[in-house]
Chain A
Amino acid sequence: MPTITIDQREVVVPKGATILDAAQRIGLEIPTLCHLKGYTASTSCLVCIVKVGGRLVPSCATVAVEGMQVESETEEVHHVRRTALELLLSDHVGDCLAPCHFACPTHMDIPLMLRQINSENLREAIATIKQDIALPAVLGRVCPKPCEKGCRRSGADGAVAICDLKRFAADQDLASLQPYLPARLPDTGRSVAVVGAGPTGLSAAYYLRREGHQVTIYEQESQLGGRLRREFGADELPPNVLDAEIATITALGIETRLEMRLGRDLALDGLLERHDAVLIACGAVGGGTVESWQLKSTPRGVDVDKETYATSRQGVFAAGNAIRTKGLVVRSVADGKEAAAAIGQFLAGSDVAGAPKAFSSRIGKLTAEELEAFVAGGDTRPREDPHSKAAGFESTLAVEQAGRCLHCDCRALHTCKLKRYAEMYGADPNRYKGERAVFHQDLRHSMVIYEPGKCINCGLCIEIATLASEPLGLTFIGRGFDVRVGVPFDRSMAEALGKVAEKCVEACPTAALSMRDDHCLCNVQILREM
Chain B
Amino acid sequence: MSTDLDLSFVDQCVEQIGRGREAVIPILQAIQQHYRYLPMAAMERVCQLTEITPSSITGVSTFYTQFRHHPVGQHIISVCHGTACHVKGSELVQDALEYHLGISGNGQDTDAQGLFTLEKVACLGCCTLAPVVQIDQVPYGHVSPARVPEILDDFIKHGKKSEIQIRRQEGERPAHIGEVRVGMGSCCQAQGSGSVYHAIGMALEKSGAAAVVKRVGCVGMCHQTPMVEIVPPEGPTRFFSRVTPDEAGEIVLHHFQPKGLIRRLGRTAARWLDRWISDEIGLPVERRALDIAQGPACAFLRHQIHLATEGNPGADPTDLDEYLRHDGFKALRNCLAEMRPEDLIEVIRASGLRGRGGAGFPTGMKWAKVRETAGEKKYVVCNGDEGDPGAFMDRMLLESCPYRVIEGMSIAARAVGADEGVFYIRAEYPLAVRRVREALDKCRQRGLLGGDILGTGFRFDISVKEGAGAFVCGEETALLASLEGKRGMPRLRPPFPAESGYRQKPTLVNNVESLALVPWIFRNGAERFAALGTPTSKGTKVFALAGKVRRGGLIEVPMGITIRQIVEEIGGGVTEGRRFKAVQVGGPSGGCVPADLADTPIDFEALSSVGAIMGSGGLVVLDDRDCMVDIARYFLHFTQDQSCGKCTLCRVGTRRMLDILDRICSAQGRRGDLEELESLARAVRAGSICGLGKTAPNPVLSTLQYFHDEYVAHLEGRCPAGKCQDLIVYKINDQCIGCTLCAQHCPVNAIPLTPYKKHTIDDQLCTRCDTCRDVCPTGAVYVE
The interface residues of chain A lying within 8 Å CB-to-CB of B65 are 479
Known contacts A58-B492, A475-B59; decide if A489 and B54 are in contact (CB<8 Å).
yes
The interface residues of chain A lying within 8 Å CB-to-CB of B656 are 87, 90, 432, 434
Q: How far apart are B647's CB and chain A's nearest CB, in angstroms?
A: 5
- Asked if A481 and B643 make an inter-chain contact with CB atoms under 8 angstroms apart, the answer reads yes
The interface residues of chain A lying within 8 Å CB-to-CB of B688 are 46
- Asked if B645 and A488 make an inter-chain contact with CB atoms under 8 angstroms apart, the answer reads no
- Asked if B659 and A480 make an inter-chain contact with CB atoms under 8 angstroms apart, the answer reads no
- Asked if B55 and A435 make an inter-chain contact with CB atoms under 8 angstroms apart, the answer reads no
Q: How far apart are B665's CB and chain A's nearest CB, in angstroms?
A: 15
- Asked if B43 and A480 make an inter-chain contact with CB atoms under 8 angstroms apart, the answer reads no
Known contacts A79-B683, A83-B680; decide if A479 and B643 are in contact (CB<8 Å).
yes
- Asked if A481 and B651 make an inter-chain contact with CB atoms under 8 angstroms apart, the answer reads yes
Measured CB to CB, the nearest residue on chain A to B645 is: A483
B638-691 CB contacts (< 8 Å) to partner A: 640-649, 651-656, 659, 680, 683, 686-689
Known contacts A465-B55, A488-B58; decide if A479 and B652 are in contact (CB<8 Å).
no
Checking A41, A84, A90, A478 against B62 with a beta-carbon cut-off of 8 angstroms, the contacting residue is: A478
The interface residues of chain B lying within 8 Å CB-to-CB of A321 are none
The interface residues of chain A lying within 8 Å CB-to-CB of B62 are 476-479
The 3 closest A-B pairs by CB, nearest first: A483-B645, A488-B54, A488-B58
- Asked if B649 and A87 make an inter-chain contact with CB atoms under 8 angstroms apart, the answer reads yes
The interface residues of chain A lying within 8 Å CB-to-CB of B653 are 83, 87
Q: How far is the CA of A88 from the CA of B653 in the complex (A)?
A: 9
Chain A interface residues (CB < 8 Å from chain B): 41-47, 49, 56-58, 61-63, 79-80, 83-84, 87-88, 90-91, 432, 434-435, 456-457, 462, 465-466, 471-483, 486, 488-490
Known contacts A473-B53, A474-B55; decide if A480 and B651 are in contact (CB<8 Å).
yes
* A-B pairs with beta carbons under 8 Å apart, 12 shown: A46-B647, A80-B687, A90-B652, A457-B645, A457-B646, A473-B53, A477-B59, A479-B645, A480-B644, A480-B651, A481-B652, A481-B654
B18-69 CB contacts (< 8 Å) to partner A: 40, 43-44, 53-59, 62-65
Measured CB to CB, the nearest residue on chain B to A462 is: B55
Checking A62, A434, A472, A476 against B659 with a beta-carbon cut-off of 8 angstroms, the contacting residue is: A434
Q: How far apart are A495's CB and chain B's nearest CB, in angstroms?
A: 10
- Asked if A489 and B44 make an inter-chain contact with CB atoms under 8 angstroms apart, the answer reads yes
- Asked if A472 and B646 make an inter-chain contact with CB atoms under 8 angstroms apart, the answer reads no
Q: How far is the CA of A474 from the CA of B56 in the complex (A)?
A: 9
Q: How far is the CA of A466 from the CA of B59 in the complex (A)?
A: 13
- Asked if A488 and B57 make an inter-chain contact with CB atoms under 8 angstroms apart, the answer reads yes
Q: How far is the CA of A88 from the CA of B470 in the complex (A)?
A: 24
- Asked if A480 and B645 make an inter-chain contact with CB atoms under 8 angstroms apart, the answer reads yes
The interface residues of chain B lying within 8 Å CB-to-CB of A476 are 59, 62-63, 487, 645
- B491 interface residue per 8 A CB criterion: yes
Q: How far is the CA of A362 from the CA of B680 in the complex (A)?
A: 22
Q: How far is the CA of A432 from the CA of B651 in the complex (A)?
A: 13
Q: How far is the CA of A300 from the CA of B44 in the complex (A)?
A: 71
- Asked if A478 and B645 make an inter-chain contact with CB atoms under 8 angstroms apart, the answer reads yes
The interface residues of chain A lying within 8 Å CB-to-CB of B654 are 481
Q: How far apart are A8's CB and chain B's nearest CB, in angstroms?
A: 22
- Asked if A479 and B644 make an inter-chain contact with CB atoms under 8 angstroms apart, the answer reads yes
- Asked if A44 and B648 make an inter-chain contact with CB atoms under 8 angstroms apart, the answer reads yes
Measured CB to CB, the nearest residue on chain A to B41 is: A489
- Asked if B55 and A432 make an inter-chain contact with CB atoms under 8 angstroms apart, the answer reads no
Q: How far apart are A400's CB and chain B's nearest CB, in angstroms?
A: 40
Measured CB to CB, the nearest residue on chain B to A51 is: B686
Number of A-B residue pairs, CB cutoff 8 Å, is 130
Q: How far is the CA of A528 from the CA of B64 in the complex (A)?
A: 49
Q: How far apart are B762's CB and chain A's nearest CB, in angstroms?
A: 30
The interface residues of chain B lying within 8 Å CB-to-CB of A88 are 648, 652
- Asked if B649 and A46 make an inter-chain contact with CB atoms under 8 angstroms apart, the answer reads yes
Q: How far apart are A500's CB and chain B's nearest CB, in angstroms?
A: 13
Q: Interface residues of B: mostly helix, strand, loop or mixed? A: helix
Q: How far is the CA of A456 from the CA of B648 in the complex (A)?
A: 8
**Chain B interfacial residues counted at CB < 8 A:** 42
Q: How far is the CA of A483 from the CA of B59 in the complex (A)?
A: 10
- Asked if A477 and B648 make an inter-chain contact with CB atoms under 8 angstroms apart, the answer reads no
Binary A-proximity of B599-643 (CB < 8 A = 1, otherwise 0): 000000000000000000000000000000000000000001111
Known contacts A87-B648, A473-B54, A473-B55; decide if A46 and B642 are in contact (CB<8 Å).
no
Most buried by A among B53, B65, B491, B643: B53
- Asked if B687 and A87 make an inter-chain contact with CB atoms under 8 angstroms apart, the answer reads no
Checking B40, B494, B647, B652 against A91 with a beta-carbon cut-off of 8 angstroms, the contacting residue is: B652
Measured CB to CB, the nearest residue on chain B to A466 is: B55
For the complex with contacts A46-B648, A473-B55, A489-B40, 4 further pairs of A-B residues with Cβ separation under 8 Å are A43-B647, A473-B53, A477-B58, A486-B58
Q: How far is the CA of A517 from the CA of B492 in the complex (A)?
A: 39
The interface residues of chain B lying within 8 Å CB-to-CB of A472 are 54-55
Q: How far apart are A54's CB and chain B's nearest CB, in angstroms?
A: 10
Measured CB to CB, the nearest residue on chain B to A482 is: B645
Most buried by A among B643, B651, B652, B683: B652
The interface residues of chain A lying within 8 Å CB-to-CB of B59 are 475-477
The interface residues of chain B lying within 8 Å CB-to-CB of A46 are 647-649, 687-689
The interface residues of chain B lying within 8 Å CB-to-CB of A79 are 683
Q: How far is the CA of A91 from the CA of B652 in the complex (A)?
A: 7
Q: How far apart are B326's CB and chain A's nearest CB, in angstroms?
A: 43
- Asked if A44 and B646 make an inter-chain contact with CB atoms under 8 angstroms apart, the answer reads yes
The interface residues of chain A lying within 8 Å CB-to-CB of B689 are 43, 46, 58
Measured CB to CB, the nearest residue on chain B to A486 is: B58
The interface residues of chain A lying within 8 Å CB-to-CB of B687 are 46, 49, 56, 80, 83-84
- Asked if B40 and A480 make an inter-chain contact with CB atoms under 8 angstroms apart, the answer reads no
Q: How far is the CA of A478 from the CA of B645 in the complex (A)?
A: 9
Q: How far is the CA of A457 from the CA of B487 in the complex (A)?
A: 14
Q: How far is the CA of A86 from the CA of B364 in the complex (A)?
A: 42
Q: How far apart are B53's CB and chain A's nearest CB, in angstroms?
A: 7
Q: How far apart are A429's CB and chain B's nearest CB, in angstroms?
A: 13
Known contacts A87-B656, A462-B55, A489-B58; decide if A483 and B651 are in contact (CB<8 Å).
yes
Q: How far is the CA of A480 from the CA of B651 in the complex (A)?
A: 6
- Asked if A45 and B648 make an inter-chain contact with CB atoms under 8 angstroms apart, the answer reads yes
Q: How far apart are A92's CB and chain B's nearest CB, in angstroms?
A: 10
- Asked if B641 and A480 make an inter-chain contact with CB atoms under 8 angstroms apart, the answer reads yes
- Asked if A80 and B57 make an inter-chain contact with CB atoms under 8 angstroms apart, the answer reads no
Checking A58, A62, A478, A486 against B63 with a beta-carbon cut-off of 8 angstroms, the contacting residue is: A478
Q: How far apart are A490's CB and chain B's nearest CB, in angstroms?
A: 7
Q: How far apart are B674's CB and chain A's nearest CB, in angstroms?
A: 15
- Asked if B680 and A432 make an inter-chain contact with CB atoms under 8 angstroms apart, the answer reads yes
Q: How far is the CA of A228 from the CA of B646 in the complex (A)?
A: 58
Q: How far apart are A438's CB and chain B's nearest CB, in angstroms?
A: 13
Q: How far apart are A260's CB and chain B's nearest CB, in angstroms?
A: 53
- Asked if B492 and A84 make an inter-chain contact with CB atoms under 8 angstroms apart, the answer reads no
Q: How far is the CA of A481 from the CA of B648 in the complex (A)?
A: 9
Measured CB to CB, the nearest residue on chain A to B657 is: A432
- Asked if B40 and A457 make an inter-chain contact with CB atoms under 8 angstroms apart, the answer reads no
Q: How far is the CA of A435 from the CA of B683 in the complex (A)?
A: 21
- Asked if B649 and A84 make an inter-chain contact with CB atoms under 8 angstroms apart, the answer reads yes
- Asked if B40 and A490 make an inter-chain contact with CB atoms under 8 angstroms apart, the answer reads yes
- Asked if A83 and B40 make an inter-chain contact with CB atoms under 8 angstroms apart, the answer reads no
Known contacts A43-B689, A46-B649; decide if A479 and B63 are in contact (CB<8 Å).
yes
